[in-house]
Structure 1
Amino acid sequence: MRHTIIIGTGPAGLTSAIYLARAGLHPLVIEGPEPGGQLTTTTEVENFPGFPEGIMGPELMENMRQQAKRFGAEFMSGWVTKTDLSKRPFTVTVDGYGDLQAETLIISTGASAKYLGIPGERENVGRGVSTCATCDGFFFRGKKIIVVGGGDSAMEEANFLTRFASEVVLVNRRSELRASKIMQERARANAKISWSLDRTPLEVAAGDLGVKGLKVRNNETGEEELIEADGIFVAIGHTPNTKFLDGQLTTDETGYLVVTPGTTETNVPGVFACGDVQDHKYRQAISAAGTGCMAALDCERFLEANEAVPVSVS
């Protein structure tokens, strides 16, 4: 029996672990196959406070993990295959370990960026391929960039990237865009954005120093061409990692967990959500860490109110 189990790491889960461990609650953190979340695939992080020279994403996550361990957090690597949230204590089934029980749960499993699934894409993440304009746009100052996508996210990212890039080429499989009319109008009014519609991405072209461009097929003529660029931003959406919950928690229409505004409380008392799994708007390391802190404090107060732990001395 545990006071708290944290499912997922990343800035949110690890911040929760630090706070709960310092409160003497000895949280168990269950890491998935990619401990540290999306930041482990990021090269240099320059927008996390406290690092004036920047820090590598994997290093930042390892520092947070060691900080949580220092205060007594425990870590377990494995897939969570099932949860039972129908009654407390909650049951979490971990592949290879069986059933674990806890008075409270914190869900910080994040959201996975959708990729195109073409050759050269995954291999060049961090070498010119990105799924986060806010995170990586700065590195492409004065360069030519491709944004792939046709929804609101793609329009928003294309507009944002024009702050840095000399040119942004928007590539979409169809001749029509899914984005709302107002978002399309904003993008079309931006002189730095050019359009390459009705083009199917085929391959990310790259060399020793990174991305060279995107190979596409003209869907009308069948001809293939290389659109030269220094960076490629894939903006076709994210998928929140909630499948293991089997619909036991309330989600919005896109699958993100719904929390009570101003808290991290889900519809099940004692279950809290933080980080990108409940945030489809900001998706930043610092905002995820902030909600991780909130989840830990919400969790601690819940345990105290239900007399599961003595009053905190943290």
Structure 2
Amino acid sequence: MKVHCGFIRNGGAEMDPVDIKYVKKCRFVVASGIFDGYDVPHQPSNISPRSKRLFCFLMVVDEESLSFIKSNVTVTEDDKGGKWVGIWRLILLKHSPYDEPRRNGKVPKILTHRLFPQTQYSIWIDGKMELIVDPLLILERYLWRGKHTFAIAQHKHHRSIYEEADANKRRKRYARPLIDLHMKIYKYEGMEPWNARKSYPSDVPEGAFIIREHTPINNLFSCLWFNEVNLFTPRDQLSFGYVVYRLGGSFKFFMFPNCEYNSLFILHPHTREHSSKIEWVKNISEFEGKGSSLKETRGGLGLWTPYPGNLKTVVLPPTERTSKAG
């Protein structure tokens, strides 16, 4: 079986040769990313001398973010051309593959094993986070102690992807009719709302913090997860549970309590409010005529490709708002 995963050469998301050479030595990685200049790097704290020797701290950025970072914080350059902000090595991704910054950010987040193929263990944190726990302790607590290979936190408010989708629409995280279409496809393909009979506590993770060993099954899961993000909406929390469902129990993971998740980092605000025109779309008719410019041209193409099933018969499960913040 062949699984498409990532981009071919000259297809987008390309690294500089100096960075490709640098990451070849990285077996343990703390990775993060900043796209479209929405954040600046936050220096981790409580990092042990051993972790500083063992881990590469890699901050993946696009060209706009690199320019923004240079104008707001001190960026140093080593004798081999590598760029640094404190402990973070800046990894420039040239030729962003998508129009939408949120979707571009999923490349290093989900395809960590493709960007850094020599890596054995990685910890992903979103760019707005400041890590405050030693990464070796994180690996010990969430992977090695329980003999897990993939760990991710449970969402604070939602367990069903349909609840999360409803919250995404209310909070204008993507075009409402396209979120509905995304969910109708999953419902048609058999994805039921989460229930207590499932072997894991939630279908919805907190996707901002991912801890993994780069095993073949985890790499396969990441490829399949990214393919869903590429094909449909960029909201990766909506597709995580679906990929778990389709793998039928082959993918094992540890979903830890949300209260522990919040003890691992300090959350900083973005430098500005994120907003793209497609997030404000309320009706599919808004994409017609002059509104066609609202469509992404390089991502989410599965939302505009005729689906082979009859989605008109699909009724989305009712959702109940479980939290004011949700």
* Same topology, TM > 0.5: no
Specify which structure has the bigger relative contact order, considering alpha-carbon pairs within 8 angstroms and separated by 6 or more residues: 2
Larger fraction in strand: 1
Structure showing greater Rg = 1
Report the TM-score, using the length of structure 1 for normalisation.
0.24
Higher share of residues assigned helix: 2
TM-score calculated relative to the size of structure 2: 0.24
